[in-house]
Amino acid sequence: MIKLLKMDFVPGSADVGLLALRAWLGLTLLLNHGWDKLVHFQTKAGSFPDPLGIGSQFSLGLAVYAEVACAALLVLGLFTRFAALCLSIQMTVAFFLVHNAALSGQHTGELAFVYLAGFVALFLSGAGRLSFDGRAR
């Protein structure tokens, strides 16, 4: 019974876990958030939140860069720590400045907070061996 609960029959690999985390977070961010911002850039540019006071269009541009380019780099495991750092900054701004650090209620930042946790973990760990970064070693 203990063996079943410990799930020792599942092969353990930190590299496979990092690949799954990179692909899961990167693809969902890119496809569910970044792609729409990229495709509808012109219509969103005037009304996009500007939490840093740098202009809505520039704020949207930074969001698109993070959520499309950096998310794609993360999936590939290319310049992973740089991409994860950019995405961590993006999610920090989203969580604290756009969603006011709200973890529940209306306009919750819970999703940004969860993404932030994953991106910080990837920044700290790196991509793992199953990545372009891992092949460069």
The verdict on residue 4 lying in a domain is: no
Per-residue pLDDT, 137: 64
The verdict on residue 81 lying in a domain is: yes
The verdict on residue 6 lying in a domain is: no
Structural contact between residues 46 and 58, judged by C-beta atoms closer than 8 angstroms = no
The verdict on residue 18 lying in a domain is: yes
DSSP string computed for 71-131: HHHHHHTSSHHHHHHHHHHHHHIIIIIISTT-SSSTT--HHHHHHHHHHHHHHHH---SSS
Per-residue pLDDT, 123: 98
Q: How do residues 39-98 score in pLDDT, each as one tens digit?
A: 999 999 999 999 999 999 999 999 999 999 999 999 999 999 999 999 999 999 999 999
Q: Which residues of 23-51 are buried (b: 16+ CB within 10 A; e: fewer)?
A: eebbeebbeebbeebbeeeeebbeebeee
Per-residue pLDDT, 16: 94
3-state secondary structure 4-52: HHHCCCCCCCHHHHHHHHHHHHHHHHHHHHHHHHHHCHHHHCCCCCCCC
The verdict on residue 123 lying in a domain is: yes
The verdict on residue 89 lying in a domain is: yes
Mean pLDDT for 114-125 is 98
The verdict on residue 8 lying in a domain is: no
Question: Which pair of tokens denotes residue 71?
Answer: 């998310």
Asked if residue 9 has pLDDT above 90, the reply is no
Percent of the chain surpassing pLDDT 70: 99
The verdict on residue 41 lying in a domain is: yes
pLDDT band at 10 (very low <50, low <70, confident <90, very high): confident
Mean pLDDT for 87-110 is 96
pTM here is 0.92
Count of domains forming the chain: 1
Q: Domain range spanning residue 28?
A: 14-135
Asked if residue 110 has pLDDT above 70, the reply is yes
